[in-house]
Structure 1
Amino acid sequence: MWTCFEPVHAVTYFHPRARAAYEAVGLRGYWRGYFAGRAAPLGPVGPAPVVAAFYTFAPHMVTRALPSIWQLADPDQALRARLTGAVQALAELTYELPERHLAETAELLEVAAEGLGAAPGRVLGAANAALPRGDYPLARLWQAATTLREHRGDGHVAALVAADLDPVETLAWRVANGMPAQSLQGRGWSDHEWAQAQSRLAARGWLTPADPSTTPTTLSSATPTAEGRVAFQAVETATDTAAARPWHSLTPDTLTRLHTLLLPIAQAAHLVIPSTNPIGLPTPQQG
């Protein structure tokens, strides 16, 4: 299900219409829109809660955006911009699908999102769940996908914390486990910090020691050990377990129906997501 609802949410990061909607309210530059859009459900917060909740961004990168972005657009304006841009993007991508298809998909995805309840322990998930429901199917669909996405992300952060992985170690470890380095090296950490993270993971027995003849920016010489691969899978399993509760609201047959409905929407949305992306998102496949 993640591979099908994540692309719906992710148009807000990759589609030109989403970027234009942020720029229309004064949020020029990719990262202003990104931090404003994701943080807006929390209100006009400063950097500390966002550093904690977003997890893998260097603190100085967050403080560059917050709280100054709220002088350009307040949270309500940012929320309207992100929903407008996402809906326009999805409308462009799904124009061939009947309205009833989109409406039924939104309705079923909302049932899953409502299964979160108050989403205890999930700060971003709960903040998005508390937002008003959209007026139109694509708005409802995007908001439900976003709530489920942030709920899952909160659980993933909890799994990383439980595994005693700090933010830059998390990124270095993910690269060693197959994600292209260039997709994650824009989050504000220096080459030295990346190299130090690799060294800590090697000392822990999760990565092979880095080859000193390579530069830190390549991250090519560190590979996971057998212990590191087991630890990686344990975090992924914990994330999936923590994300499972919303789907208990749907019967197996309804889940199958939702997957069938979501698949063409997700495949269309995936067309605007780069093959090398910081989400690690594969192409949605028929179940």
Structure 2
Amino acid sequence: MWTLYEPVHAVTYFAAEARQAYEAAGLRGYWRGYFAGRAAPLGPVGAAPVVAVFFNFAPAMVVRALPDVWERATPAETLAARLAGATDALARLTAGIPAGTVEAAADLLTEAVGRLDPAGRALGAANAALPVPGDPLARLWQAATALREHRGDGHVAALLAAGLGGCEPLVWRAATDLGREVLQSNRGWSDGEWDAAARRLFERGWLDEDGTPTATGVAAYERIEDVTDDLAAAAWTGVDPERAVVLLAPITDACRSVLPPSNPIGLPLPRRHGTGGGPDPAGAQRTPRGSGTNGH
């Protein structure tokens, strides 16, 4: 389900309409729009709460954006801009998809949000508490956003319980498939901080001396992903997976068209759509299961 709704949310980071909406609101520069847009449901917060809930950004990077962004656009103005930008992007991307499919997908995700438990989920709860838009595209995007932030909160909890800080999951993912050049610069960690995190992973037996993931590390991270999935599962109680795929897959595919092939969200490459864990398209390389870099 995450691979189906995450691309819907992610248009806010990669679609031209989203950038234009933030800039029109006074949030010029990519990272101002990013930090203001994700933090706005929390209100005019300073850097410290955002460092905590975003988790894998270097504190120094967050401090450069917050609370300065609120002098440029209030949280209310930012929320209006992010929803307008995302909705405009989805209108373009889903132009060839029947309106009834979009509305049914929006209803499915909105109902899933209604099943979320907000306890301990700061970002998920703040997004789920926003007024539900009437427009189906806006409702679709907002529901996808609440679901991904709720899931991300659970992922952060699983990482913390495993004794990991904000940088270690990035180092792990870079060693696995995405590459340090993508992750480090996009999350603001210095070379010293990155290398120190790599040493900690080596000391706990997750990485070999050459930075290669060990069997111990792979198994440990799989347990973290299992916990993440378990914590997110309640939203999908009673949902027909076949119907969910039929409704969301064409929307997901359309949204993926604006995502760069290599990005810090860390989505796996697309699978052949289906509910039985069928084979991948011929020749497709798969990234590891997981959400270790999905904006958290």
Which band: TM-score by shorter chain?
Answer: over 0.9
1:226 maps to: 215
Query: Over residues 153-181 of structure 1, what are the superposed CA-to-partner deviations in whole Å (9 max), with x where a residue is unaligned?
Result: 00110011011011111211121122222
Q: How many residues align?
A: 272
Counterpart amino acid of 1:270?
R
Deviation at 1:183, TM superposition (A): 2.1
1:256 correspondence with 2:242: yes
Query: Which 4+ residue blocks in structure 1 deviate beyond 3 angstroms?
Result: none
Report how far residue 258 of structure 1 moved.
1.9
**Unaligned 5+ runs, structure 1:** 210-220
The question of 1:243 aligning with 2:232 is answered: yes
TM-score, normalised with respect to structure 2? 0.90
Aligned to 1:184, the other structure's residue is in SS state helix
Partner of 1:93 in structure 2? Answer: 93
Q: What secondary structure sits across from 2:26 in the alignment?
A: coil
In 2, Cα distance between the equivalents of 1:156 and 1:177? 18
Deviation at 1:282, TM superposition (A): 2.4
How far apart are residue 123 of structure 1 and its match? 0.6
**Residue aligned with 1:185, SS:** helix
Separation (CA, whole Å) in 2 of partners of 1:62 and 1:222: 28
Taking only the aligned residue pairs, the percentage that are identical comes to 59
1:180–1:276 contact (8 Å) kept in structure 2:
no
In structure 2, C-alpha distance between the alignment counterparts of 1:204 and 1:112, rounded to whole Å: 38
> Match for 1:125: what amino acid?
G
Residue identity in the other structure for 1:224: P
* Structure 2 letter corresponding to 1:9: H
- How far apart are residue 193 of structure 1 and its match? 1.2
1:67-216 to structure 2, matched below 5 A, reads 67-117=67-117, 119-186=118-185, 187-209=187-209
Alpha-carbon distance between aligned partners in 1 of 2:195 and 2:256, rounded to the nearest angstrom: 32
Give 1:108 deviation, angstroms.
1.1
RMSD: 1.0
1:39 aligns with 2:39: yes
| 1:76-115 residue CA offsets vs partner (Å, 9 max, x unmatched) | 0000000000000011000011211111111111111111
1:75 positional shift: 0.2
- Asked if structure 2 preserves the Cα contact closer than 8 Å seen for 1:53 and 1:154, the reply is yes
Output the TM-score relative to the length of structure 1.
0.93
CA contact (8 A) 1:263 1:284 kept: no
2:267 corresponds to: 281
Contact 1:9/1:145 (8 A) holds in 2: yes
Q: How far apart are 1:139 and its partner, in Å?
A: 0.4
Q: Distance in 2 between matches of 1:283 and 1:20?
A: 28
In structure 2, distance between residues paired with 1:81 and 1:70 = 13
Give distance in 2, aligned partners of 1:173 and 1:48. Answer: 25
- The C-alpha deviation readout for 1:235-278, integer Å capped at 9, x for no partner, is 11111111111001x34xx3321221100000000011011111
Letter in 2 for 1:82: R
Distance 1:182 1:134 in 2: 38
C-alpha distance in 1 between matches for 2:270 and 2:128: 25
In structure 2, C-alpha distance between the alignment counterparts of 1:61 and 1:266, rounded to whole Å: 30
Given residue 64 of structure 2, which amino acid in structure 1 is its aligned partner?
R
Distance 1:180 1:238 in 2: 25
Measured in 1, the distance between the counterparts of 2:35 and 2:90 equals: 21
| Distance in 2 (alpha carbons) for counterparts of 1:207 and 1:107 | 43
Aligned to 2:286: none
